[in-house]
Amino acid sequence: MKKELGIYIHIPFCTSRCPYCDFYSNAGCREDEISRYAAAVAAQLVQWSRMCGEYAVDTVYFGGGTPTLLSLRDFGLLMDALGGHYDIEPGAEISCECNTADAEYLRGLRSLGVNRLSIGAQSLDDDELRELGRVHNSADFVRTYNDAREAGFDNISADLMLGIPCQSRESLHMTLERLCALKPEHVSAYCLRIEESTPFGKAVGRLPLPPEDDIAEMYLGTIKFLAGQEIEQYEISNFARAGYECRHNLKYWNCDEYLGFGASAHSFFGSERFSCPRSLERYLGGEYIAGRTKPSPADLETEYVMLAMRRTAGLVADEYVGRFGVDPHEKYRGRFSEFVRRGLVTADMSGYRFTPRGMLVSNTVLSSILDL
């Protein structure tokens, strides 16, 4: 039986740069430059397919950047490279990130085989979207969402952001109500992180950011609100109706294998981690691997605990025994006990998982128990 593999394809182009973003992406590129990049990704797909004979692909994820800046022709080129050189499982989840797109484009994507759309709403409050420097407004999001439904997408996710400058608990509540009225299958809700290298990072003292306590309340309120809509949390920042959890992203948190294609894309394959160069020039020059490491068994164990604990399922004892051959309670019972006492972690024979309040401080807790 073949092993399962996820494929990530990075499209590093955006219409303009959002001032908080530190993803690898380039603004203002011409259509012919984007087409040249798509041809290079198709070539990498063909070349790396030679090491994938024992694998069946069950998820594909087009991320960015803004993948919908690819023309439908270039999108088709990548789908052909996938279909022609990989064993794509029937029923594979094929996701594409999107900011705004028109109805014709969305129909084209759907007919190429994309079956899951992840739309970057961020907020449905136009003042907050302006604060974030987004080029779309809430009406653009709703139009794209409705057009996607009409194009036949029955698996739609929306990204939201918590902690936006000028955001309040009330404005977030309004965003959640408007979003849930559209009945999305999946919601991602990320807390805004201010990265030093970004324009937001340089202006951090002048940004009207909500107080930390309010952001914590927004996070806990989001978990509760979405649960009331039958959109249950399954990872720190991700929520889904039953059966609509993102199968591709679960691979990252389950430490399953995936290959990343395109500039800056990361892979975990054959017990090695490697990444493509974070440079268009180098990538277009045919350089596919900029860094490669083979994690030690101890590193793999640490990574597993860090990633598994992001899930609401947490560190599952049986899963841990299957991977590492030892009982996790011997190592972790004592280390988690203080956090169990403080109500940040729950523990039983089946494993360990964060409570919603624990998820707010998960990095601090994990640094402590993993001696990072």
Residues ≥6 apart with Cβ < 8 Å to 248: 6, 8, 59, 60, 61, 93, 95, 258
* 63 near ligand SF4, rule: CB under 6 A: no
The nearest distance, CB 14 to ligand SF4, in angstroms, is: 3
C-alpha 252/C-alpha 267 separation (Å) is: 10
* 34 near ligand SF4, rule: CB under 6 A: no
Structure tokens at 260: 């990343």
Residue with smaller CB distance to ligand SF4, 201 or 295? 201
The nearest distance, CB 304 to ligand SF4, in angstroms, is: 28
C-alpha 239/C-alpha 369 separation (Å) is: 26
| Gyration radius of the chain over CA positions | 21
C-alpha 280/C-alpha 351 separation (Å) is: 43
Compute the Cα dihedral for 327, 303, 221, 342 and give only its sign. positive
* 21 near ligand SF4, rule: CB under 6 A: yes
> Which of 365, 366, 357 minimizes the C-alpha distance to 219?
357
Task: Using CB under 6 A, pick the residue from 11, 18, 119, 176 that binds ligand SF4.
Answer: 18
C-alpha 349/C-alpha 143 separation (Å) is: 48
Q: For tokens 């039986």, what's the residue?
A: 1
Interface with ligand SF4 (CB under 6 A), residue total: 11
Residue with smaller CB distance to ligand SF4, 48 or 261? 261
The nearest distance, CB 137 to ligand SF4, in angstroms, is: 14
* 190 near ligand SF4, rule: CB under 6 A: no
Q: Is 17 left (phi over 0), alpha (psi -120 to 50) or beta?
A: beta
HSE-CB for 177 with a 13 A CA cutoff: 7
Task: Using CB under 6 A, pick the residue from 8, 10, 11, 25 that binds ligand SF4.
Answer: 25
Residue with smaller CB distance to ligand SF4, 99 or 238? 99
Residue with smaller CB distance to ligand SF4, 23 or 324? 23
* 155 near ligand SF4, rule: CB under 6 A: no
Sketch the per residue contact string, 328 through 367, with ligand SF4: x for CB under 6 A, - otherwise: ----------------------------------------
* 161 near ligand SF4, rule: CB under 6 A: no
Q: For tokens 């594409």, what's the residue?
A: 96
3-class SS of residue 313: coil
Residue with smaller CB distance to ligand SF4, 121 or 176? 121
Window contacting ligand SF4 (CB under 6 A); options: 60-68, 166-174, 281-289, 296-304: 60-68
Strands 116-122 and 156-162: parallel
Structure tokens at 25: 């992406």
Residue with smaller CB distance to ligand SF4, 109 or 360? 109
Torsion of CA 308, 97, 165, 220, to 10 degrees: -40
Residue with smaller CB distance to ligand SF4, 65 or 314? 65
Residues numbered 93-152 forming contacts with ligand SF4, rule: CB under 6 A: 99, 120
The nearest distance, CB 99 to ligand SF4, in angstroms, is: 6
Task: Using CB under 6 A, pick the residue from 4, 17, 89, 180 that binds ligand SF4.
Answer: 17
The nearest distance, CB 127 to ligand SF4, in angstroms, is: 18
Task: Using CB under 6 A, pick the residue from 6, 64, 262, 358 that binds ligand SF4.
Answer: 64
As to burial, measured by CB atoms within 10 angstroms (0-12 exposed, 13-18 middle, 19+ buried), residue 87 is: middle
Residues ≥6 apart with Cβ < 8 Å to 321: 327, 328
Window contacting ligand SF4 (CB under 6 A); options: 19-27, 67-75, 161-169, 213-221: 19-27
Which helix (H) or strand (E) element contains residue 96? strand 88-98
**Which residues contact ligand SF4 by CB under 6 A?**
14, 17-18, 21, 23, 25, 64-66, 99, 120
